[in-house]
Each structure stands twice: as C-alpha cells, then as structure tokens.
Structure 1
Amino acid sequence: MRSSNIFVILSLFLLLVSIENIVRVYGEDPTYGFTSIPLTEANFVVQKPYNIPVEQRYSFIDGVHRFWVYAHDKPYSPGSPTQPRTEIRIKGLDYHSSVWQFEGYGYVPKGTSGATIAQIHGSGDGGATTLILRIYNRDMRYYDTDLVAENLYDKWFRVNIIHDVDGGIVSVFSDGENKFQTKDHGPGDLYFKCGVYAAPAHISNYMESSLCAYWKKLKLCEDGYDRVEKSQKWSSSKSSLMEPKMEFIKIIVNGVCIVTVNIISIPKYLI
C-alpha cells in the first residue's frame, strides 16, 4: 500500500510539472494563435506639435522609437483643442471587427508623469478613444483610474493590448501577465497609437525635462485561431484561450486528502 501511495504522489507531481510547463509557455505569450502583420515605415505616421520639425520631438535609432514633448508645445494641428503629443498612429490597419492585438516594449524615464503612452483610438459611443494607458508617478493606469501595472520607470516592459471587438472586451498584458480587462465602447473606426500624449490634467512641469517614452519591437496581430479550430476562437467573454478554464480536484489516498490542486483545461490542439 505504501508503494501505491508513493506512485500516486509521484504521478501527481509529474502531472503538475507538465501542466506548469504548458501554462508557463502558454501564459507568457499573449500573441499565441494570432497572425503577425508586418509593419513598415508606411504604417507609421508621426503626430507632433505642428510648428516644429519632426526631428525635434521624435527619433528612430537602432530599432528604438523615442518620443518627447513639452507641456508648452502646440497641438498636432492648428486650432486643435487637444494636448501636446508626439505619437505614432498606425495607419492602413484600421479595424472594425474580429480580434486585434498591439504589442510593443515601452520604456518611461523617471520624472515623466501624466503621459498617455498607448491607446486604441476610436469608439462606438461618440468618444475619441476605447482605451488609454497612462503613466502617473511610475505606475500605468487605465485613463486616470484603474491601476494596470506598477513601478515601470527606467526599465523596458512588454505591453500587449488585445481588443476583441465582437466580444466587446479589451485586455491589457504587462510582461506577459493579464493585468486588466474591461468592456470596450462599441465597434467603430479603430486603430492603435503609441508615444507620449499629455493628459488633460495632473501632468509634470516639463519646461526643463521632457515628457518622454521609448518604444521598440512594435507588432500588430490579428486573430488566427479560426485557422486552428473555429469553435475555439479567442473571446474574453467566453472560456477564453488566454484565460483557460480552472477546475478544482482533490487527490485522496486511504481516505486522507493529500492535496487540492487547480487543473487547467488545455485546448486539445495544444496537447
């Protein structure tokens, strides 16, 4: 009987190790199952203060996009009531349906606060945006409310934004971890942007130091799950592939509960 107990425990250990390895690979890559769309310079439209040359607020060196702007800068066009910005608008890949994803690696220097670093522009409810990710005092927030990620100053961090238009859900991943999810504002003429865009209020005094951010390895992806199995298309509102179904089981030997574990339902094409 003792050897039988040891066998059960060993089998459980191997099962948990296998599941952990699958989840580790699965959880760290939000782009899994999506089709990567190549981006060229033609897809990058730089929006900057209208009265100065682009090179005074933007650079692209060794694969790194650098954006900076000052609180006293002009808007991107004469007569615009918007705040100063230096951003890339991803052009030619606007979307209205399906599931789309933006991925990039951001870097925000200490001292930058009140800066929108990424957004989904467009909305179905008459607003200007569906999502804004903004840096306030080293932390990233959804607009100026919900906390998304902490302590981001002076380091590279990976950002993945997944917009399930049909399901009406937006998810934000930071360094591969699903940090935030919210309902969208309905379908519309939608596209992604990144860079720096001054918030309407509570921004730092940038007369001497710039509102600055860096982005690299920008990528855009479209849902590709229907190429694998249509019935398992990614949807945050259902049993999502990004959030596998959790089930609780108990391992009992001789009437004694040894351990309670979480088993994750892995899509069958991953097994």
Structure 2
Amino acid sequence: MKGSTSSNCLLLLLIVCFSTSFNLRCARAADPTDGFTLVPLSDGNFVLQKPYNLPLADRYSDASGVRKFWVYTNDKPFQSGSGTRPRTEGLDYSSGIWQFEGYAYVPKGTSGVTIMQIHGASEGATTLQLRIYDGDMKYYKFDVVATDLYDKWFRLNVIHDVDEGKITVFINGVKKYVVNDQGPGDLYFKCGVYAAPENSSKYMESRWKNIKIYKK
C-alpha cells in the first residue's frame, strides 16, 4: 500500500495470512465460489494493526461475528515514524487461483477509503484497491465498479487468477468488473478501512462478517 507523506495518520490493519502454491485453470461458475475449495482459517491467520498510541479496542471491535473497523484522518500510524494512511484490512499466495469473500457494510459519510485490496505488485504496493467514494465503489479512484452501497450489507467476492494475471470482482454474486493485475509480488488479501491519499472523510468505518478464503 502506498503511504502518505503525512505523519499523523493511523494504520489499522487486518491481514489474512496463509501460504501455499497452486497452478490450475479458472472455470466459469454460476456462483463465484462454485468449483473452489474453502481454505480453513484460524485466529492466527488474522493480523491487526492499530495506532501505536491507542489500545486496539479504541479502533476495532469483534462482536456477534461482525468485525468493525474505524479510523480518523488525524490518527497516528501503526508505528512511530510511518507515513502510511489510516486503514483496517486480509492470505499469502504466489500462483494459482484464489478468492476472497466477505460481507461488507459501509455507513453513509465514509468516503475516500479503500475497503478491500490485494497487496503486492511488480511495481508499487498493491495490485488492486476497491475504494468507496460517496457510496460508490471504484477501482482505485478511476472506474466505477458498483454504486449505491451505503448503509447496506453486500457480498463481495474477488477472484485473483495469478497465472493469467486477471482479477474479477463480484457484488452480491454478480460479476461487476474484470481487470489485469499488476504483476507478481508478495500477494495477500486485505479488508477494512484504509484512507485514500486524497479526499478522505474525517471518520471512516467499515464492518465485515463471514470472511472466507477459497482456492482452486
């Protein structure tokens, strides 16, 4: 993830970490998860980062299966001296076909924030960022992926075919966006809140439940 030059920004991070290597073809399916195998996850697969000067409970909660992440633009980074922007985010892989699934909720007012990304690329820090701007989801700050997502739960599936260099995004089981990835790297999924480099709202929040990882 590319950072900001600002020194007074929080990094709150949820990372799903899991390692393996596969090399299979992607098959079309009626549901995004058809043909995929669920990857078992434990608490050890999730890593949280928070403002270095605050307890975790001040920026993260996990109740009744819902993980809630929130940050402010003036929060501290995850460690002293970091220039990264505020974020909350999710599995290490290097080849094959992998899929992230989660149910997300973004309250009205949260804007200029990445809610899901794939870390790792040939150049730069990420190969995918899905950002929320005024209730719409965009690929970085460019193409619109989906609209009118405020104040409702929606299912997000992201398939990364590493060997073919393709990423496919589904919202509520419907294919919404296909894009080339940005080359190999230290790949893993992230979800939560990460302030964009520009035009971030003062308060940023996302909620997540039923986070799963699949492979082929």
TM-score, normalisation: structure 1: 0.68
1:213 to 206, 209, 215: 206
Partner of 2:161: 164
User: Percent of pairs identical after alignment?
Assistant: 60
Aligned-partner SS, 2:57:
helix
Partner of 2:15: none
Partner of 1:108: 106
2:46 to 35, 44, 47: 44
Distance in 2, matches of 1:50 and 1:181, equals 37
Letter in 2 for 1:121: H
2:62 to 36, 60, 63: 60
* Larger CA deviation: 42-51 vs 210-219: 42-51
Structure with more of its chain in helix, by fraction? 1
Letter in 1 for 2:52: Y
Q: Does 1:99 align with 2:92?
A: no
2:187 to 176, 186, 190: 190
Q: Does 1:119 align with 2:112?
A: no
Q: Which runs of 4+ in 1 moved over 6 A?
A: none
Aligned-partner SS, 1:163:
strand
Distance in 1, matches of 2:78 and 2:166, equals 30
Letter in 1 for 2:35: G
Distance in 2, matches of 1:83 and 1:55, equals 19
* Deviation for aligned residue 1:216: 0.3
Partner of 1:20: none
Distance in 1, matches of 2:42 and 2:67, equals 13
Q: Which runs of 5+ in 1 are unaligned?
A: 1-25, 224-271
RCO (CA 8 Å, sep 6+): is it higher in 1 or 2? 2
Q: Which runs of 5+ in 2 are unaligned?
A: 1-28
- Which deviations, in whole Å up to 9, do the C-alpha atoms of 1:98-151 show, x marking residues without a partner? 000000000000010011100000112x21000000000000000000000100
Aligned-partner SS, 1:42:
helix
Distance in 1, matches of 2:49 and 2:137, equals 22
- Which deviations, in whole Å up to 9, do the C-alpha atoms of 1:1-38 show, x marking residues without a partner? xxxxxxxxxxxxxxxxxxxxxxxxx53x2010000012
* Deviation for aligned residue 1:95: 0.4
